[in-house]
Amino acid sequence: IAPKNFTIHGLWPDKEGTVLQQCKPKPNYVNFKDKMLNDLDKNWIQLKFDEDYGRDKQPLWVYQYLKHGSCCQKMYNQNTYFSLALRLKDRFDLLRTLEMHKIFPGSSYTFQEIFDAVKTATQMDPDLKCT
Catalytic residue numbers? Answer: 9, 64, 68
52 burial type by CB count under 10 A (0-12 exposed, 13-18 middle, 19+ buried): exposed
Extract the runs of DSSP E, i.e. beta strands, from the chain: 14-15, 18-19
Question: What's the CA dihedral at 24, 14, 30, 88 to 10 degrees?
Answer: 170
Output DSSP code: residue 44: S
